[in-house]
């Protein structure tokens, strides 16, 4: 398990180095067999230490090593229970994507680059504001993740899932890039048509 914890810490630092979190704003989890590694409550992903990694039973949510997991561990563990194709859950608050999450009105379509439908999915789920750490937020995120891999939390941040660390981080980076483009374009951006998205999916995803 020590090697898995080292890899977890390395991934957390990568999330921070890419500017996807600030201080204690994000959290991370990873499936390792029947348990999940979860960043500790109040920990900073950019500076995460090995002793700040909780080992949690996925079925019960109980910490097995005495480290208290993130207050958002409820939706992390439920997603891992309900989606066998997912091994990593990342909750972050990158600047451009979070700016759009705080806007009204906000864009309904984020497909300004081919990377969005390829990696994030052609639609980004949107979850209304619920207090961070609340059961209502956990329930809404889990429901959205049943059919999406990327979720925008209004007035809060984002959640992504993937088969491994890079898959989840890649989604976060590409949504952040798309949101940055949209903000820089100041409303003058264009998006792919449905036919263009379908062509991208056929070409790169074999759909």
For residue range 103-117, what is the model confidence (pLDDT) as tens digits? Answer: 999 999 999 999 999
**d(C-alpha 70, C-alpha 117), whole Å:** 30
CATH number for the domain including 31? 3.40.225.10
The C-alpha atoms of residue 133 and residue 76 are separated, in whole angstroms, by: 11
Q: Inform me whether the pLDDT recorded for 173 exceeds 90.
A: yes
Contact between 40 and 53 under an 8 Å Cβ cutoff? The reply is: yes
Which of 20, 35, 112 is CA-nearest to residue 69? 35
Q: Which of 53, 61, 82 is nearest to 144 (CA)?
A: 82
Residue-by-residue DSSP string for 63-100: BSSSPPBPTTHHHHHHHHHH-TT--EEEEE--HHHHHH
Give the pLDDT score at 162: 97
* Cis-peptide, bond into residue 143, ω within 30° of zero: no
Question: How far is it, in rounded angstroms, from Cα 54 to Cα 12?
Answer: 13
pTM of the model: 0.96
Range of the domain at 13: 2-205
Binned at pLDDT 50, 70 and 90, residue 79 comes out as: very high
pLDDT in tens, 83-106: 999 999 999 999 999 999 999 999
DSSP assignments along 12-50, one per residue = HHHHHHTTS--TTS-EEEEEETTEEEEEBTT--GGG--G
**β-bridge pairing 157-162 and 150-153:** antiparallel
pLDDT at 116: 95
186 by DSSP, 3-state: which? coil
Per-residue pLDDT, 207: 81
Give the chain's domain count: 1
Tokens representing 153 are 């939390």
Q: Which of 177, 14, 183 is nearest to 90 (CA)?
A: 14
Asked if pLDDT for residue 1 goes beyond 90, the answer is no
Burial 98-118 (b: 16+ CB within 10 A, else e): bebbeeeeebebbbbbbbbbb
Q: What is the mean pLDDT of residues 147-154?
A: 97
């Amino acid at each position: 398990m020590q090697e898995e914890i080292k890899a977890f810490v390395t991934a957390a630092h990568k999330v921070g180095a890419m500017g996807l979190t600030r201080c204690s704003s994000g959290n991370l989890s990873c499936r390792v067999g029947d348990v999940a590694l979860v960043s500790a409550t109040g920990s900073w992903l950019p500076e995460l230490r090995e002793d700040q990694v909780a080992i949690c039973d996925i079925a019960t949510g109980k910490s097995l090593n005495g480290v208290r997991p993130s207050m958002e561990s409820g939706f992390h563990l439920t997603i891992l229970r309900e989606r066998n194709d997912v091994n990593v859950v990342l909750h972050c608050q990158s600047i451009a994507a979070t700016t759009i999450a705080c806007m009204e009105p906000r864009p309904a379509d984020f497909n300004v680059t081919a990377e969005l439908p390829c990696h994030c999915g052609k639609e980004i789920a949107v979850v209304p504001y619920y207090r961070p750490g609340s059961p209502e937020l956990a329930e809404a995120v889990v429901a959205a993740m049943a059919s999406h891999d990327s979720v925008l939390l209004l007035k809060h941040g984002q959640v992504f899932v993937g088969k491994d660390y890079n898959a989840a981080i890649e989604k976060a980076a590409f949504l952040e890039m798309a949101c940055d483009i949209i903000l820089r374009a100041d409303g003058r951006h264009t998006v792919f048509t449905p036919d263009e998205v379908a062509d991208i999916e056929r070409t790169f995803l074999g759909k």
